[in-house]
Amino acid sequence: MIKHVSYYIVIITLLLACSSRPTQDKAEYSESFNNEEDTTGINYISEEDLEDSYQDDTNTDSLQLLIEEALQNLSEEIESHMHYKLRATLNGFKNGVDAHYYYDSLLNLRYCTVFWSSEGTSGNHTYYFNDNRLIGARENNYYPDSEELILLHVDFKPNFGILKSEDEKSEGTLTYLSESDFISKDMEALKEYNELIKQIKEYKETATVYNETVKLQVQKAVNHRDNFIEQYDFEISPKVYEYLINK
């Protein structure tokens, strides 16, 4: 199981997120995850290719290189399908978020990149999607005394990815991630995205259109001695905005 503490979730659940399926428990989702067929033409890695490059290889560094290459190929393939964008930012008291979401011509979410920081910790993650389902992820988390890298890809079974942890006192640890870890990450992405849609609907009264972009801005006073004002900003392609508002 993934052991790290997801500090950015505390921030992002105020604002951000990535999928529009109804919430399912792990048992139900696991069954649909294994049975659902791909319908959008993504070129998945074949079992033969995996066997040739990773059969009986117990070196997690090799798996890391294989997943990084697969994610790079996925990124290059998805870029050709991207037409619309949504950006959401939070300038908070000792924390911040800068999130970018990208959609294809049919308004399907294809990937998102999120950068976050909170009181000495920071991180970023990129999630890749196909048919409203997570198919790959890269995540970096930086803590005061340690850091970690998480890589996930749907085609690497039974080890769906790795967690690589490093700190000042050791050379680090490498851990294989299971299907359960992959499902947890997908459900986490779903939660983030639903929170994002919820915030956009909540703040829709502030919407204005400028240079073919829908903009929303909300400021909230924070009860600190410095009387800090938190600011939420959204920049959304009009078609994406209309689609999300009517979901």
Average pLDDT of 3-28?
44
Structure tokens at 2: 């993934």
Average pLDDT of 216-227?
82
Flag the least confident range among 91-95, 208-212, 224-228. 224-228
Nearest to 234 by CA among 27, 13, 15, 61: 15
Average pLDDT of 10-38?
46
The domain ranges of the chain are 7-31+62-245
Model pLDDT, residue 56: 41
Q: How many Å apart are CA 8 and CA 134, to the nearest integer?
A: 18
Say if CB 118 and CB 7 are below 8 A apart: yes
pTM, 2 dp: 0.78
Average pLDDT of 193-220?
94
In the chain, what percentage of residues exceed pLDDT 90? 61
215 forms bridges with which residues in the sheet?
A: 208, 235
3-state secondary structure 124-183: EEEEEEECCEEEEEEEEEECCCEEEEEEEECCCCCCCEEEEEEECCEEEEEEEECHHHHH
Q: How many Å apart are CA 2 and CA 212, to the nearest integer?
A: 41
Render pLDDT for 36-59 as a digit per residue (tens, 0 to 9). 544 344 444 444 444 444 444 444
Q: How many Å apart are CA 18 and CA 86, to the nearest integer?
A: 12
Is pLDDT above 80 for 71? Answer: yes
3-state helix, strand, coil in the chain (%, to 5): 30, 40, 30
Flag the least confident range among 10-14, 41-45, 111-115, 216-220. 41-45
Which pLDDT band holds residue 165 (cuts at 50, 70, 90)? very high
Q: Taking all residues of the chain, what is their mean pLDDT, rounded to a whole number?
A: 81
Look up residue 11 and give its DSSP letter. H
Model pLDDT, residue 170: 77
Nearest to 26 by CA among 132, 184, 156, 150: 184
- Report which residue type is found at 235: E
Q: How many Å apart are CA 64 and CA 71, to the nearest integer?
A: 11
208 forms bridges with which residues in the sheet?
A: 215
Model pLDDT, residue 146: 94
Render pLDDT for 72-119 as a digit per residue (tens, 0 to 9). 999 998 888 889 999 999 998 889 999 999 999 999 999 999 999 999
162 by Cβ neighbours in 10 Å (0-12 / 13-18 / 19+) ranks as buried
